[in-house]
Structure 1
Amino acid sequence: MTQPVEIFAKNLNEWGKRKIPFVFLVDYLAQKPLAWRLEDVDPSYLRFNLNGFRNLGFGTEHQLPGNFSFNKFPIPFPEYQKRFDHVVKNLKAGNSFLVNLSAPTPVQTELSLSEIFENSEAPYRILYNNEFVCFSPEIFVRIHGNHISSFPMKGTIDASIPDAENMIRSDYKEAAEHATIVDLIRNDMSMVAEKVWVKRYRYIDRIKTNDKTLLQVSSEIAGMLADDFNGQFGDILLKLLPAGSITGAPKPSTLKIIREAEGYERGYYTGVMGYFDGETFESAVMIRFIENQNGSLVFKSGGGITALSQAQNEYQELIDKVYLPFNHAAHFMF
């Protein structure tokens, strides 16, 4: 059952202060937050493996069938173009510097959400009540003691493209987009931390999917919380939401542009999931997200748009991000 956001924050603050382990989910607009003490989690409706922190009672894990399909049906390019043009018009008018534009993609597969969850190789995985599964590669914030860090991802390229790493590192649009997000996250963290710095800038991660390997560009921003922080995780989380990497900058006007352009409800997609184990608080942005809509599966994905973006390239990135994080490509039928 969802909780009023004030109760949600109060619970996380209290559990953090008392060092009581917990798990939580927050939707994109923080309207339906959920939080459980670890001892109260029922694996029949919530399964998670968050960077190794996982609940027990999974039962017999499902093995992948010998052959299965994964077909995607993205929105037609002309429809995406209309949404893209609305975003670019606002960017050129100075209403935003960067907008994360997403869209739902119907997918078809013989696999259940449970099978997808159990066989995914992403570091942050969650399955909620057969309503959605998320397998995210992106940390939101990690807090240990008084040290806080964030790891925004911005910039994706197919690793099979010749000289892919140099290509994405030298791409002016990608560099500008990444710099904007790093600056936004640094400013956001300054609201909760006394000292903030960029620890690593534009490093490359390799992400294996069912049909290719992607290169993902990330940075690490670090900070120090006040000495009297005392586990107030709820207060910190609400100040930082929604995540800058999946909205844009500046946030208030960008949220309005997103609402006008997308024309659908993100729900828990691009929200945040996380845990506290009694010592470390760790959270992840809920990207790479499949939702069960009355028995039909919808994969929600997107990417950052700047005034320099090309519609066809952004459309392809949206499609490339619709994947299953299995290292079992031989099982697929296309």
Structure 2
Amino acid sequence: MNIATFTETMNQWGRNKVPFLFVVDFEMQRPLLMRLADVNPSEILYRVHDTTNAPPAHGSEGIVLKKMPLPEPDYRKKFEQVYGHLAYGDSFLTNLTVKTEVRMDHSLRDVFHLSHARYKLLVEDQFLVFSPEIFVRIKDQKIYSFPMKGTLDASVPNAKETLLADPKEIAEHVTIVDLIRNDLSQVASSVNVTRFRYVEEIRTPSKTLLQVSSEVVGDLAPDYRHHLGDILVRLLPAGSVSGAPKPKTLEIIREVEQERRGFYTGVFGIFDGTNLDSGVMIRFIEKQGDRYFYRSGGGITAQSSAASEYQEVIDKVYVPLT
């Protein structure tokens, strides 16, 4: 299915109140769209908050991830390429992502059942997502987005205060909130930031992380269900996993990362016939042959340092268990 057919079908199903699952890759070249009634649990499992096609899970054992990260000099080379573009003024925020090979003592299906996240998606024998990040929600003629930028180990002394006061994290978050506000203004009116920089906890087997989000809300036209596909595609790719300004930053990402992201940092979600809920596909494990790779990244600004950004992409390689 190409993106034009995806958009048109999504518009039609929204107009007819047909419940569906959608999955869009970062490059928007391989979108998936299917009626919820047609989703085969042996091939695809999903959970969007409390809506799922997965059978009840049993057991609470831990998951061991052995990380084999990209060597720091290799990461630093990519970082310096991005930083050069920032210094030249091509971008003021670029989301740089890398792959970390991992070895696991569980299958992707096991990890789906054992992990905890707002958004979970398993495409059998291909990839698994367990994401905390909301892309957009549509309810009662309003569209909501919750950009997430800013991460810190909760064990750091005065972690919450430190995170909220960090100039680099402030600059990065303000940039993304402004980008998302502008994005939503393409499809909605009266767009406002209703909550700014609130902190949430995410627990991993090895540590607790603090992450910062904001809430941006806009009003949709009364016939918005007739245009669900147009609305979604107009907002892609997600600003929080690309950067600003978006068109030029996407060029930088292609130049530096040197490979397609595929479904990593794309979006997926469901329409239940009335409301739409979707997440950004971060916290992502993909299977290549008999090997597993965990993809992670972070936003690079003029205030960033290579050492701290490298540590952040390693810290983000985890499976949330509670």
**Pairwise same-fold verdict (TM > 0.5):** yes
Partners of 1:69 and 1:96 in 2: how far apart? 38
Contact 1:301-1:321 at 8 Å conserved across structures: yes
Which one of 74, 78, 85 corresponds to residue 80 of structure 2? 85
Q: Deviations over 1:247-296 (max 9, x none)?
A: 00001100011111112321100000100111110100000000001011
Contact 1:64-1:115 at 8 Å conserved across structures: no
Amino acid at match of 2:238: A
Q: Deviations over 1:61-114 (max 9, x none)?
A: 46455x753110110000000000000000010000100000000000111000
Which one of 206, 211, 229 corresponds to residue 211 of structure 1? 206
**RMSD over aligned Cα, in angstroms?**
1.2
- Counterpart secondary structure, 1:230: helix
2:109 corresponds in structure 1 to: 114
2:277 corresponds in structure 1 to: 282
Q: Deviations over 1:34-72 (max 9, x none)?
A: 01101111111110011111115x3x746455x753110
2:53 corresponds in structure 1 to: 55
Amino acid at match of 1:52: D
TM-score, normalised to structure 2, is 0.97
2:94 corresponds in structure 1 to: 99
The percent identity for this pair of structures is 52
Gaps of 5+ in 1: 328-334
- Counterpart secondary structure, 2:64: strand
Matches within 5 A, 1:37-186: 37-56=35-54, 58=55, 61=57, 63=59, 69-186=64-181
1:263 corresponds in structure 2 to: 258
Which one of 9, 18, 23 corresponds to residue 16 of structure 2? 18
Which one of 196, 199, 202 corresponds to residue 194 of structure 2? 199
1:330 corresponds in structure 2 to: none
Gaps of 5+ in 2: none
Amino acid at match of 2:296: S
Partners of 1:155 and 1:315 in 2: how far apart? 14
Matches within 5 A, 1:289-308: 289-308=284-303
- Counterpart secondary structure, 1:232: helix
Contact 1:17-1:231 at 8 Å conserved across structures: yes
1:317 corresponds in structure 2 to: 312
Runs of 4+ with >4 A deviation = none
Amino acid at match of 2:19: P
